[in-house]
Structure formats: structure tokens, C-alpha cells
């Protein structure tokens, strides 16, 4: 069964550094998403992406965040200058419609 | 703002007990409703979903949920739980006019004692 994959599984970075989290969505899916979950808190929507552009983003998704689909398969989330409060589990998801399929997540730790 | 509430953060049950996890949402219009499960060390997986039609929906692994529009609720049930149901359960909603973003409840950690 096709699945969403994410790399790396765990990323440790220093405050102020840039990180790129990578996702490979399911191949025939059209919608792509990033969510995050800070430890002990709810899963929060960051951004959705369709037809090579952002379709919706939350208040969390400020100028330090960006997304890209650099080729036909990858979907990346870049955080330009990480802050301590960016430490969280980041989930990628993809869908053809309402049903979203999730990757295993990348645990980002900012020190 | 739209929100999703899950009433219990932690539930501990013995095997064969019946399960009901509460979920309420705050939105007056049409919604799509989901329950996701995350087993220890695994992905978020879809348990079941409701878009329209019969308000009692059946999902995988013997789970079901009932949509009660008047109560803005979508409670998850299982008549007899197993040790393997130990996981975290998330209720989520998306709004038809929101490009499918999911709004999540806080999750319920379910522990089944063998």
C-alpha cells in the first residue's frame, strides 16, 4: 500500500539555523499539508499546498516558513531561522480529497 | 474560531470493556468528521470518517462512531476493546470551504490493561 514518507525521522539543530524537512507524498495525490504537534499540545495545521501554490496557511506559518515542491515527488518545509519554540513533531500529509494520509513525522529539536 | 474538544485526555480500561470517546466540535455548518489513531511508534492512521448519509459509521478494527448533528458530536465507540487498541485517538474536523485543513482535538490516550 502506498504511503507518505518523511525524512529525517529526527533532526537536531541549533537556534537560528535553517532546517529543511522532507516529505514524499503518495504519488497520485494532489493536495499536500504540513502539521505540527508541540509536545503535550494539539496537532496544528500549518499549510496546505495545491497546484504548485499555497492554498491555505495558518497564523503559525509566518515568514520564517516556506514550502516547496521542487520536483514531481518531494514536498519540503523550510524553517529559515529556527527558534526554541519550533521544537515539535512535524507531520506531512497528502490527499486526493478529504481523506488525508500521514507520514510518520519528523521530530525537530531546537537547542 | 472552529474548535474540536475531546473530553478525556487519558482513559484506562480492561480488556473486553466497552469504549466510548467523546468528541464535540464548534461549527454550525456542514463538516466532515474523522477519527485518527496513532499506535505507539506508528503513523497517524484513519479509523473512520463521516461525510454524509448514515450518521452511524463503521471503521476499521471494530470501531464505529455516531454523528449527532444536534449535539455537534461524533463519539467513537467499540463494544469490546483489546490490549492492541492501546493508542492515542484523535478526533478531527474539516470544513468544506477550508481547502481540507484538519482541525484537531487534543487527543485521548487509551491504555488497555491485559
Measured between CB atoms, does A49 come within 8 Å of chain B?
no
Structural domains of chain B, count: 1
Task: Identify each DSSP E strand in B8-72 by its residue range.
Answer: 10-14, 19-21, 23-25, 32-38, 44-50, 56-58, 64-68
Full domain range(s) for residue B37:
4-113
Please give the span between the terminal C-alpha atoms of chain A, in angstroms, as a whole number.
37
Annotate A14-37 with three-state secondary structure.
CCCCCEEEEEECCCCCCEEEEEEE
pLDDT of residue B31: 87
pLDDT of B28 strictly over 80 = no
Distance of CA B94 to the CA centre of its chain: 13
CB B91 within 8 A of CB B76: yes
Q: Which CATH class is domain A5-110?
A: mainly beta
**What pLDDT is attached to residue A36?**
96
Which residue numbers in chain A have pLDDT < 70? none
What local confidence, expressed as pLDDT, does residue A84 receive?
97
Q: What digits encode the pLDDT tens for the residues B76-87?
A: 999 999 999 999
- Best A99, A106, A107 member to test B by mutation, with max B CBs in 10 Å, is A99
Q: Which residue of B has its CA nearest to A3?
A: B43
* pLDDT computed for residue A65 by the predictor: 97
- Interface residue A6 vs chain B (CB under 8 A): no
Do B101 and A91 lie within an 8 Å CB cutoff?
Answer: no
Where does the pLDDT of residue B65 fall: very low under 50, low under 70, confident under 90, or very high at 90 and above?
Answer: very high
B96 pLDDT above the threshold of 80: no
Domain CATH number, residue B21: 2.60.40.10
Amino acid at each position: 500500500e502506498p504511503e507518505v514518507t518523511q525524512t529525517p525521522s529526527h533532526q537536531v539543530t541549533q537556534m537560528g539555523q535553517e532546517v529543511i524537512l522532507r516529505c514524499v507524498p503518495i504519488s497520485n495525490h494532489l493536495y499536500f499539508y504540513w502539521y505540527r504537534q508541540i509536545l503535550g499540545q494539539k496537532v496544528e495545521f500549518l499549510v496546505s499546498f495545491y497546484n504548485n501554490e499555497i492554498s491555505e496557511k495558518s497564523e503559525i506559518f509566518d515568514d520564517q516558513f516556506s514550502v516547496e515542491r521542487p520536483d514531481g515527488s518531494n514536498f519540503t518545509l523550510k524553517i529559515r531561522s529556527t527558534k526554541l519554540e519550533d521544537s515539535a513533531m512535524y507531520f506531512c500529509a497528502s490527499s486526493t480529497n478529504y481523506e488525508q494520509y500521514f507520514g510518520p513525522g519528523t521530530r525537530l529539536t531546537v537547542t | 474560531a472552529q474548535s474540536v474538544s475531546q473530553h478525556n485526555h487519558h482513559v484506562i480500561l480492561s480488556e473486553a470493556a466497552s469504549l466510548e470517546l467523546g468528541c464535540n466540535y464548534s461549527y454550525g455548518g456542514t463538516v466532515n468528521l474523522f477519527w485518527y489513531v496513532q499506535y505507539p511508534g506508528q503513523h497517524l492512521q484513519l479509523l473512520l470518517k463521516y461525510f454524509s448519509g448514515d450518521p452511524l459509521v463503521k471503521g476499521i478494527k471494530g470501531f464505529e462512531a455516531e454523528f449527532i448533528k444536534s449535539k455537534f458530536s461524533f463519539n467513537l465507540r467499540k463494544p469490546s476493546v483489546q490490549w492492541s487498541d492501546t493508542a492515542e485517538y484523535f478526533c478531527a474536523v474539516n470544513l468544506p470551504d477550508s481547502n481540507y485543513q484538519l482541525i484537531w482535538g487534543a487527543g485521548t490516550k487509551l491504555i488497555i490493561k491485559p
